[in-house]
A and B are shown apart, each in its own frame.
Chain A
Amino acid sequence: MAKLNINGKVRDVQVEAETPLLWVIREQVGLTGTKYGCGVAQCGACSVHLNGEVVRSCSIAVGSVKATDKIVTIEGLSATSAHPVQRAWAELDVPQCGYCQSGQIMAAAALLRRKPKPTDADIDEAMTNICRCGTYQRIRAAVHMAAGMAEKA
């Protein structure tokens, strides 16, 4: 039994403490925008925000998450897909298959919160999620575009 604050809503989940947060989010809570890619924190498809920082939820045991911790998934990033990262992603048609993009978007949103005007080097360092379709060029451009949008907003 655990209490989780996900996207601003506190939920009770009936689950073993060692269950990865990813699978609690997907299977108990039923939010499937957060994806399983590797299970070993390599690919970042499972990226969510934990108290504002991007984390790989496949490698966090739910038992280590406190009821006061704030978890945000792709579904909770914005109610209307209006987050600058989502708008920039739409503007540049970033996704191909799209499977990794929830994680990419969460990583980019966390980066911009930390560094509102990231350099290419900042993007290199922060955006380590794997995209097998190879959308990296557009991801880089979209992060810069989102930074510009957020500045203007």
Chain B
Amino acid sequence: MTKRISATNLSRRKFIVGSAAAGGGLALGFNLPFMGAAEAATAAKAGTEINAWVVVKPNDTCVIRIARSEMGQGTETGLAQLVAEELECDWKKVAVEWVTPGQNLARKRIWGDMATGGSRGIRGSQDYVRRGGAAARMMLVQAAADQWKVPAGELTVADGVITHAASKRRTTYGRVAAAAAKLTPPDPKSIKLKDPKDWKIAGRPIKRLDTAMKLNGSLVYAIDLKLPGMLHAAVKASPVFGGKLVSYDESKISGMPGVRRVVKVHDNAVAVVADTWWHAKSALAALPIVWDEGSGASQSSAIIAERLREGLTATNEPFASWQDGGDALKTIAGAAKKVEAIYATPFLAHATMEPNNCTAKVTADSAEVWVPTQSAEAALAVTSEESGLPLGKCEVHKHVLGGGFGRRGGTQDYTRQAVAIAKQFPGVPVKLIWSREEDMAHDFYRPISQCKLSAGLDESGKLVGMHIRVSGQSINALLNPAGIKEGKDMRQLQGLWKEPGDAQFGYTVPNLLVEYAMRNTHVPVGPWRGVNTNQNGVYLECFMDEVARAAGKDPLEFRRELMAKHPKHLAVLNAAAEKAEYGKPLPAGVYRGIAQFMGYASYSAAVAEVSVSGEGKVKVHRMVLAIDCGHAVNPQQIAAQVEGSVVYGLSATFYGECTVANGCMRESNFHNYQLLRLAEMPRVETVIVPSYDFWGGVGEPTISVVAPAVMNAVYAATGKPVQSLPLKNLKLV
């Protein structure tokens, strides 16, 4: 059995001692040469830190430290597998422990980047966590060699047992840990990592480490936290984005049960603090509030759509763009046959199952938060800024997230609110929970966009030119202005990029022009699982089917002809087609759609089998998805992510839409922001085709092919291209 140790068990003081002794550097752990008697006693109980990643207990349990956040994607298990693989420990005796950003800061960011997004958990940390595991193994083996006075090279190690065959001596990690911790760590650069072909723990479909607690209600999510004397807060921000709080009438609710106080939260929100959250929420609902709605109140979905539409044909502005070959526009204009289409995708909410929440406790000289966060270091920064205390006086206790999907990354707006509320109650922990309605009203939504595509074909049906113009909102404009160069934001063209390696356009088109026209709105936007690959995947892959049809070619064959110079894209497309038996006839009334796309350094493809009823109701029967993520650390978890990506993608395909009226979002809860349910779940088959020469992401990439594969199947069924989402708004037959 594996055992979890809470982050709070880590001795804060121990880490500060460690940092004083450490010289810096991100890659590897340090031993603690200056550890005093008290720290040593604590360490003996908690285990011996071999380096930053590995703690060994006297009973041979290896505690592996995890710096990234776990939100269901399985990164915790995958990272532990990678460390354990190099450590050569007994997987049955592995436990994990969360690192806090305060500890990371105190040790000069020894655990590296803690942010968990962009499908980077494994691919962004695999190298240094494997080196951490290997270095710990080398130190443990060296300690045994020193004890036995034999060369380390004569020892073998497996499952945490060190053996000297010649003298028939054996020992375990637990027994040599204390001596190992005193050794000088090896130079991380000198460490030779295993060839993945020799992996025994990584690369295998091992079960997750965190399942048991999710089956009996014992896992404490941040929303479940109980602290002595804790108060509860419910918050409401101006429903119109950008609006301000003018006033509220506390006297109307001050007699309500459990109510303590009403507090202003920044300049745009108000919170009721009470003995329970239900009291706080009920009182907030009864609180008269006056808002200054501001200029956003005039905005609507129709006005926003109009603004985006203008961007599709605008000229003379600094478009983010790239081109290939000659003049695409001229070529298309002069082509024998021309295909043109305009596509559109809406704003979407993340709708994590666990609503945003954060518990904060602020005193004169400390600030702590307990929070579901994808970016613990951003939460630390926000806690420091909002409390006015230096970073070293702040700490973030990470909890397993009840879903993240990009909502709980760098913005940490709910953490900032919680600290702002708690500092008005010095020394008292205050738990802020957003209602589902607040969560729907104040997301950082998936950006809205439209896309105009045109293509030219010659007499033989060969593609001679293509123009793609995306018009829509920029995430960087709101959250990362530095990512915009001279007014150009290439990020919104994710998946349509020229450069290989991350999110490359997978076709060779003789004359190609790809452009993005930035058209921002008053609605806050942010990364939404898959970010811009989802929308751009719909635009390119659905249009490809339209062009294939105009060329009189099968959509798969048409794509293959354009992919000779993109062998990895092509191999994944072929893998999906083969598994789905693409050429084989389907039952009457069932139609196929195919799509491929690249994102997060991984290649994805999907085949959907779909029927459309006489009333236009779409049923997805089966989906086959293929992914090349380079190395497959846990095939079972990759399959789980792919299955989940189908649900995320299908929710968006069928139902997903946040619409603006009078400056605020209309959709308020799951009755009008529907999500896919089990009855609508197709059979999903996952094909993992790792090519073992790169590290790609897994959590996000396959979503991008779900919607276009289904839309293309609907097109095949009805003969009419599907050019906007969600399907619920369309009359398909």
Contacts and interface: CB of A to CB of B under 8 A. Distances in A.
Interface of A: 16, 19-20, 23, 26-28, 30-40, 42-43, 45, 73-75, 77-78, 81, 86, 89-90, 93-102, 105, 123-125, 127-140
B678 A136 contact: yes
A33 B218 contact: yes
Given A16-B257, A99-B403, A124 B679 contact: yes
A132 B678 contact: no
Given A37-B436, A132-B351, A137-B681, A97 B400 contact: yes
B108 interface: no
B480 interface: no
Nearest to A120: B679
Contacts of A77: 216
A93 B636 contact: yes
A112 B607 CA distance: 34
A98 B400 contact: yes
A97 B217 contact: no
B71 A97 contact: yes
Nearest to B685: A137
Given A131-B647, A138-B643, A90 B435 contact: no
Interface stretch (B13-21, B207-215, B496-504): B207-215
A96 B677 contact: no
A94 to B, nearest CB: 8
B75 to A, nearest CB: 11
Interface of A is mostly: loop
Nearest to B645: A134
A95 B219 CA distance: 12
Contacts of B644: 96, 133-135
B678 A124 contact: yes
A135 B71 CA distance: 14
B643 A100 contact: no
B662 interface: no
A89 B215 CA distance: 7
Nearest to B404: A97
B647 A101 contact: no
Contacts of B678: 123-124, 127-129, 131, 136, 139-140
B348 interface: no
Nearest to A100: B353
Contacts of A73: 217
30 contacts: A20-B278, A27-B277, A37-B353, A38-B670, A39-B436, A40-B670, A42-B669, A45-B353, A74-B216, A74-B217, A81-B212, A89-B211, A93-B208, A93-B211, A93-B640, A96-B640, A97-B71, A97-B72, A98-B213, A102-B217, A123-B678, A124-B678, A128-B679, A131-B678, A132-B648, A133-B353, A134-B647, A134-B648, A135-B644, A136-B678
Contacts of B219: 98
A134 B643 contact: yes
B671 to A, nearest CB: 6
Interface string B58-73: 0000000000000111
A98 B675 contact: no
A25 B65 CA distance: 34
B72 A75 contact: no
B355 A36 contact: yes
Contacts of B221: 32, 35, 99
A10 B646 CA distance: 44
Given A35-B221, A90-B215, A97-B402, 13 more contacts: A37-B355, A37-B436, A40-B670, A81-B215, A81-B216, A89-B211, A95-B215, A97-B403, A99-B354, A128-B679, A132-B352, A134-B647, A136-B647
Contacts of B679: 124-125, 127-128
Interface in B602-658: 636, 640, 643-648
Would you list the 3 A-B pairs with minimal beta carbon distance, nearest first?
A: A33-B217, A134-B647, A97-B72
Contacts of B354: 35, 37, 97, 99
B554 interface: no
Interface of B: 71-74, 207-208, 210-221, 223-224, 226, 232, 257, 276-278, 351-355, 400-405, 433, 435-436, 636, 640, 643-648, 669-671, 675-679, 681, 683-684
A100 B355 CA distance: 12
B534 to A, nearest CB: 15
A140 B208 CA distance: 19
A62 B217 CA distance: 21
B675 A132 contact: yes
A96 B402 CA distance: 9
A39 B352 CA distance: 14
A29 to B, nearest CB: 12
Contacts of A37: 353-355, 436, 670
B353 A27 contact: no
Contacts of B215: 81, 86, 89-90, 95, 101, 105
A28 to B, nearest CB: 8
Contacts of B223: 32, 35-36
A63 to B, nearest CB: 13
Contacts of B276: 23, 27-28
Nearest to A101: B214
A40 B643 contact: no
B403 A32 contact: no
A111 to B, nearest CB: 11
B686 to A, nearest CB: 10
Contacts of B646: 134
B216 A86 contact: yes
Contacts of A31: 217
Nearest to A102: B217
A135 B684 CA distance: 11
Contacts of B677: 127-130, 136
A102 B355 CA distance: 16
Given A35-B354, A132-B353, A98 B72 contact: yes
Tell me which of B224, B226, B405, B671 has the highest count of chain A C-beta atoms within 10 A of its own C-beta: B224
